[in-house]
A and B are shown apart, each in its own frame.
Chain A
Amino acid sequence: MKKTSKLSRDGAVWGLVMVAPTIIGLLVLNIWPFIETIYMSFSKSKAFGTFEFNGLDNYIEMFQSTEFWKATWNSIYFCILTVPVGVFLALLVAVLLNAKLKGRTAFRAIFFLPMVVAPAAVAMVWKWIFNTEYGIINSILGHNVRWLTNPAIVLITCAIVAIWSAIGYDAVLLLSGIQNISASLYEAASLDGATKVQQFFHITLPMVSPTLFVVLIMRLMSSLKVYDLIYMMVDQSNPALTSAQSLMYLFYRESFVAGNKGYASAIVIWTVLLIGIVTLLQFAGQKKWVNYEV
């Protein structure tokens, strides 16, 4: 009896000691800053990092700003452009990589490559490829399409690069989901005369749906807060800036270029709410198509 109480007291002390660095770090680096950001979104930033409470002014200014609504739309539009096509292509690549082929490790390595290249370098080469006057794509097309300066196209160009960058990462995740599917299901199906396409729709797709759901959520969240790629592809002097500027790009410019930290905080709070709403919608919708049985 005495021994167990010593044992559990020992555990309590060691438990607190062992979580202390992480918990203190999270409180200082994340929880307190989170509260500060909420407060700052109701304040005006003054000199020397001080803030003065100004109620809903930032939010009122934000909701009246066309630039803000445009950035919100750009972020949502970027999701619409990248997520369905990107996840579909990743699933296709994963299925192809799952076939028993020579060289599949090499193929997998190639598709995954953009993941280990900094987005800054990725953006640089694509800017060159999409260059209006001298880019290789326009040379092949024989047309001077203004890929990065035409407001109607610029976000599509960024979306193409984003899909290209993420395809290998998503495919690796989906592939590990596909590899967990029991081979006996496919054997039974081929004995029954099911074609590969039928097997895909009746076995692979339902069985991989939980992984697909995770990839989808992750991709949605990261697309809604896209920043680095667009920042590198569309610099701040680009005439098409407002047509490409995402919420996080606007946040960066307001907080660290213009110095409106209060207003920028309101933008980031709005973005978090937007991500939250989209994620909730996804979780509500998942019951219709995600298969958690087996």
Chain B
Amino acid sequence: MRTQTSNTLNKTLTYVALILGSVVMIFPFIWMLLTSFKTQAESMAVPPQLLPSQWNLDNYVTALASLPFVNLYVNTALLIVFRVLCAVIFSSMAGYAFAKLDFPFKKALFTIVLVQMMLPSQIFIIPQYLMLARMGLTNTIFALVFPGLVSAFGTFFLRQTYLGIPGEIAEAAYLDGCNKWQTFTRVMFPLTGSSMAALAIFTAVFAYSDLMWPLICNIDLNMMTLSAGLSTLNGQYTTNFPVLMAGSLLAMIPMVILYLIFQKQFIQGIAMTGGK
């Protein structure tokens, strides 16, 4: 009897704590949404006005006119697609080789992977930018993708996955007449689906939120990503918060929709790649 009441109490307390926490997590987004429909005068009303008196889309029109949103969406999408493809394909190949094949300088080459993982990305950024500038490739999609053409983390992560696949599977494929490459593409590669999905999500989330590199490599507004574009809007409308909120919502909506659809995969992906 006593344990039952204490159980109910525990449960109620847990619920209360989670609901309070959720309110704190959700409130900024609700406030963002409400503000985006207000006039500037309404947003500055004292005492604060909770709901807009009219749900008008003027701020969205202004935000869409101030930033080339179509380009920003396309650029961000291309950045994500290319980074994910590069990370998954090249890291799968290298991860498989490091896990399952013997070749000269294997240890030394793997050390390169580990060294890259330990260094913060900012240490590479000036030379990467100078390289790009010398090639005359700033303000391009290639520039956005450039530092993410290969992924040391992806290589490390997929190597772990391949290490977990029993060697007998590869031997069986070899006896069936597959060469090393066919063993990889036809037998081993398809077995790593969930790890590749995790790496893809991890890569996409970080490519999407990256700010410093896109700001540096593409200064042409039409070649920016959503994040970088938002930061210029920030300078343009310092006090017009309804427009800023509308712009922010436009920038975050695609990823939030993807997240709501693939929520389980997102969270699993992050839990699997966790602790980078």
B-binding residues in A (CB < 8 A): 7-8, 10-16, 18-19, 21-23, 25-34, 36-37, 40, 49, 92-93, 96-97, 99, 101, 105, 107-122, 124-126, 128-129, 131, 133-134, 136, 139, 164, 167-169, 172-173, 175-176, 196, 211, 214-215, 217-218, 221, 225, 227-228, 231-232, 235, 248, 251-252, 255-256, 261, 264-265, 268-269, 271-272, 275
Chain A residues with CB below 8 A from B116, complex form: 26, 30-31
Interface size on B, residues (CB 8 A): 101
Chain A residues with CB below 8 A from B130, complex form: 49
B124 CB-CB contact with A under 8 Å: yes
- B150 contacts which of A25, A93, A169 (Cβ < 8 Å)? A25
Chain B residues with CB below 8 A from A129, complex form: 28, 31
CB closest residue in chain A, given B96: A18
Chain B residues with CB below 8 A from A30, complex form: 115-116, 119, 124, 152
User: Is the beta-carbon distance between B244 and A128 smaller than 8 angstroms?
Assistant: yes
User: Is the beta-carbon distance between B227 and A113 smaller than 8 angstroms?
Assistant: no
Chain A residues with CB below 8 A from B122, complex form: 225, 227, 248, 251, 268, 271
Chain A residues with CB below 8 A from B184, complex form: 14, 18
Chain B residues with CB below 8 A from A115, complex form: 205, 270
20 A-B pairs (CB sep. < 8 Å): A11-B103, A18-B93, A18-B184, A26-B112, A26-B152, A37-B127, A49-B134, A97-B18, A105-B263, A107-B21, A116-B208, A117-B252, A118-B230, A125-B245, A167-B25, A196-B10, A215-B275, A228-B209, A232-B211, A272-B119
From 96 to 143 in chain B, residues with beta carbon under 8 angstroms from any chain A beta carbon are 96-98, 101-104, 106, 109, 112-113, 115-116, 119-120, 122-131, 133-134
- A256 contacts which of B11, B101, B216 (Cβ < 8 Å)? B216
Whole-angstrom distance between the Cβ of B171 and the nearest chain A Cβ: 10
A11-B102, A119-B211, A172-B267 are known contacts. Are A235 and B94 too (CB-CB below 8 A)? no
User: Is the beta-carbon distance between B96 and A124 smaller than 8 angstroms?
Assistant: no
A128-B245, A136-B31 are known contacts. Are A22 and B113 too (CB-CB below 8 A)? yes
CB closest residue in chain A, given B133: A49
Q: Add 4 more A-B contacts to A25-B90, A255-B126 (CB < 8 A).
A: A19-B98, A97-B18, A164-B24, A252-B212
A116-B259, A215-B275 are known contacts. Are A101 and B102 too (CB-CB below 8 A)? no
Chain B residues with CB below 8 A from A221, complex form: 120
CB closest residue in chain A, given B230: A120
CB closest residue in chain B, given A92: B17
B197 CB-CB contact with A under 8 Å: no
CB closest residue in chain B, given A133: B44
Q: Total A-B residue pairs with C-beta atoms closer than 8 Å?
A: 287
Chain A residues with CB below 8 A from B43, complex form: 134
B146 CB-CB contact with A under 8 Å: yes
User: Is the beta-carbon distance between B123 and A112 smaller than 8 angstroms?
Assistant: no
Closest 5 CB pairs of A and B: A15-B103, A25-B150, A33-B127, A15-B101, A214-B275
User: Is the beta-carbon distance between B248 and A121 smaller than 8 angstroms?
Assistant: yes
User: Is the beta-carbon distance between A125 and B93 smaller than 8 angstroms?
Assistant: no
Complex-state Cα separation, A164 to B26, whole angstroms? 11
Query: What are the interface flags for B42-58 relative to A under an 8 Å C-beta threshold, 1 for contact and 0 otherwise?
Result: 01101110000000000
B173 CB-CB contact with A under 8 Å: no
Whole-angstrom distance between the Cβ of A146 and the nearest chain B Cβ: 15
B64 CB-CB contact with A under 8 Å: no
Chain B residues with CB below 8 A from A29, complex form: 124, 128, 146-147, 149-150
Query: What are the interface flags for B138-174 relative to A under an 8 Å C-beta threshold, 1 for contact and 0 otherwise?
Result: 0000000011011110010000000000000000001
- A125 contacts which of B29, B152, B180, B227 (Cβ < 8 Å)? B29
Complex-state Cα separation, A231 to B231, whole angstroms? 9
B255 CB-CB contact with A under 8 Å: yes
Complex-state Cα separation, A208 to B244, whole angstroms? 41
Complex-state Cα separation, A112 to B264, whole angstroms? 11
User: Is the beta-carbon distance between B104 and A21 smaller than 8 angstroms?
Assistant: no
From 234 to 276 in chain B, residues with beta carbon under 8 angstroms from any chain A beta carbon are 234-235, 241, 244-245, 247-249, 251-252, 255-256, 258-260, 263-264, 266-267, 270-271, 274-276
